[in-house]
Structure 1
Amino acid sequence: MQFNYMAPRWKWKGAEAKALAEPISKSVSELQLSLAETESSGTLSSSNVLLAVEPEQAELLDRCCFGRLVLSAEKVKKWIQLSFEEAFYLLYNLKCIKISLQGRCLENEVDTWLYMKSKRPNFPMFFKAYSHLRSKNWVLRSGLQYGVDFVAYRHHPSLVHSEYSVLVQSGDSDRLRVWSDIHCAVRLSGSVAKTLLTLYVNGKFKGEDLNLPVCLENFTVEEQTISRWSPELSREDNPQIQNKMLPM
């Protein structure tokens, strides 16, 4: 399913040209190569991963919008705080970092997967949604301040405003089950100039099948945008509508 088209809101003159000259996909490829060469390693905590990198790699991570810089007095290394989704994407999809727990390097992706799932039971569903959009070169940030799971940008947030507020759902989710919930979510997204995008992740989210990250291959993601209907856009005296009307 294709997203409904909406014109991007660039933050300053020349931002669009800069984005075209420096596509996110190119920066991600550079980051992947750099982190793999230095065998960068992150440390797991209860809710995030702390990644130690070189200053140049910290700049690359920022260009690709992975994690947030942790301020420290250390000059040789930079510390980046990654969400579980960001860290596992670098580990599993890009295969460019290693992850350790309590000083012990986890031998494989399964150990990391099981740890993250133990801390957040809904992690498989959220990671599938995150990787679905990230693999399409959308930049994702936390949507907590907007009452959603993520906000999606077509490029770096310094260049363009986010276009979508993203809600992640599964078949047994209680979210957006009643009209009032849908109305509130759409109104809130519209008030901050975003379109509400729901990602329905279909698959089995219970049982031993979730103990291996390969289960992600059995999930599918359905995209659906929800927006308010504007009567003005359908009035017969609207010139844009009249131009599209067929002759009687």
Structure 2
Amino acid sequence: MAEQTKAGKKNDRAERNRIYAHALPAIPSSSTKPWLGIPLWRTPSSLERPRVVGVFDSATRSVWIIHSEHANLLWRRGFFGKGSLSRSEPTWLARQTGSRTAEEITAKRREERKTFKTERARAIVAAQEEAEAAFAAGKPLPAPFAPEAVRQAIRSTPEPGDASTPPPVLAAEPPEIEPVEDLEYLQLTLQEAFFLAWSLDSLRVLDAVTHNPLSLPALWRASHAAHYMPPAPQLDLRFDNPFLVNYVAYHHYRSLGWVVKSGIKFCADLLLYKRGPVFAHAEFAVIVCPVYEDDTDRATSPFQLSNVDPFSWSWLSTVGRVNSQVQKTLILTYVTIPSSRRVNLAALDSPGCLAEFSVREVVLRRWVPARMRD
């Protein structure tokens, strides 16, 4: 059983490496102006880049990738976006048609681990009972109690007469499958969409009403305007716009080569993966903490930014405990918002204003006496 499990994991790993072998590379370009102390990262012109089309939706503050081919391309080339009918990878159609998905592979692995643990516990209990009987009779310990014998017992599969073994099922003719319409789309955050459109030049965004392509300046302003309630493109741009503050953090980590996903499941803003969610769990959880350089800007702001006020000990302890239990390191990322009295607001007309922001990081680890006494 253990050998079969190892072989299955090896095959799954090889298949994942094949599917996600061409993720978007992060290669620095020396001809671009540094942002946040790091260069703007672009894909070299000699490498193939995906060319996809999306639709801007201000109501959900996202960009929708309607075409399934484009959605799969973005997911496999950098794990961008989230399936509208899936937890992460857009697999709704595959689940409807019976194809094997990453979620099903994960469920199968969990079932295999559960079966393995049950068989291991059963083998250990049997070996202990035999050892106790031998000890009571004054005999030496039996061979099955030796480590290698126990490992052999653990690897053994249930006997044919075991009640847990399901009876054989006669093969039946497969039913005729009707074609299923793909109702799922890939949903990109505005930060992901602008990074793809501007930094990687891989996304063209259409207006939801006119279906005309949005220029980069138009997409820049529309992303800012979407955070006003109701959206109003004529309002003045501000340095503390939620889109801009979160884009600074997103661009910072994406430019350093991390795969960045939402961290709401773990009480955080972002999760950082080395390669992607299909390879391993995220190692870091990020909480974005805006810091106003000028308190006057905060007093006049129409936005209620999260994590501006100091954290309470109970809240910080709760978040730290949640992430330590899932083996994630918590990072507080402080994004300093430049003062509008120091920087001309005209700088907000282009992404060049990002050079005025600064990012500082504080790593938190929860001290657990039982684990860290050594």
Answer whether TM exceeds 0.5 for this pair.
Answer: yes
Q: Do the aligned partners of residues 52 and 15 (structure 1) sit closer, same or farther apart at CA in structure 2, a change above 3 Å counting?
A: same
Aligned residue pair count:
219
Q: Do the aligned partners of residues 16 and 227 (structure 1) sit closer, same or farther apart at CA in structure 2, a change above 3 Å counting?
A: farther
Q: Which residue of 2 aligns with 1:4?
A: none
Q: Which residue of 2 aligns with 1:41?
A: 53
**Which of 83, 87, 92 is the aligned partner of 2:193?**
87
Q: Do the aligned partners of residues 65 and 228 (structure 1) sit closer, same or farther apart at CA in structure 2, a change above 3 Å counting?
A: same
User: Does 2:209 align with 1:210?
Assistant: no
**Which of 309, 314, 321 is the aligned partner of 1:187?**
321
Give the conservation status (yes or no) of the 8 Å contact 1:140–1:153: yes
| Deviation, structure 1 residue 195 | 1.1
In 1, the alpha carbon distance for the partners of 2:358 and 2:243 equals: 15
| Deviation, structure 1 residue 160 | 0.3
Greater C-alpha radius of gyration: 2
TM-score of the pair, normalised by structure 1: 0.73
In 2, the alpha carbon distance for the partners of 1:16 and 1:166 equals: 30
**Which of 213, 227, 235 is the aligned partner of 2:365?**
227
Q: Which residue of 2 aligns with 1:114?
A: 221
Give the conservation status (yes or no) of the 8 Å contact 1:144–1:150: yes
User: Does 2:256 align with 1:136?
Assistant: yes
Query: Structure 1, residues 133-171: CA drift from partner, whole Å, max 9, x if none?
Result: 111221122111222111111112121011111111121
Q: Which residue of 2 aligns with 1:6?
A: none
Give the conservation status (yes or no) of the 8 Å contact 1:149–1:168: yes
**Which of 103, 114, 121 is the aligned partner of 2:210?**
103
In 2, the alpha carbon distance for the partners of 1:125 and 1:113 equals: 13
**Which of 290, 302, 310 is the aligned partner of 1:170?**
290
Give the conservation status (yes or no) of the 8 Å contact 1:44–1:50: yes
Letter in 2 for 1:190: S
In 2, the alpha carbon distance for the partners of 1:198 and 1:16 equals: 35
Q: Which residue of 1 aligns with 2:21?
A: 22
Structure 1 or 2: more strand by fraction:
1
TM-score of the pair, normalised by structure 2: 0.51
Bigger Cα displacement from structure 2, 205-214 vs 159-168 = 205-214
| Deviation, structure 1 residue 78 | 8.1
Bigger Cα displacement from structure 2, 154-163 vs 165-174 = 165-174
Query: Structure 1, residues 87-146: CA drift from partner, whole Å, max 9, x if none?
Result: 111011111222122224355222111111122231101011011111122112211122
**Which of 127, 145, 153 is the aligned partner of 2:273?**
153
| Deviation, structure 1 residue 80 | 2.4
User: Does 2:81 align with 1:67?
Assistant: yes
Letter in 2 for 1:33: E
Letter in 1 for 2:21: E
Q: Which residues of structure 1 form unaligned runs of 5+?
A: 1-11, 239-248
In 1, the alpha carbon distance for the partners of 2:253 and 2:194 equals: 14
Q: What SS does the aligned partner of 2:48 have?
A: helix
In 1, the alpha carbon distance for the partners of 2:81 and 2:368 equals: 38
| Deviation, structure 1 residue 17 | 11
In 2, the alpha carbon distance for the partners of 1:107 and 1:23 equals: 28
Letter in 2 for 1:144: I
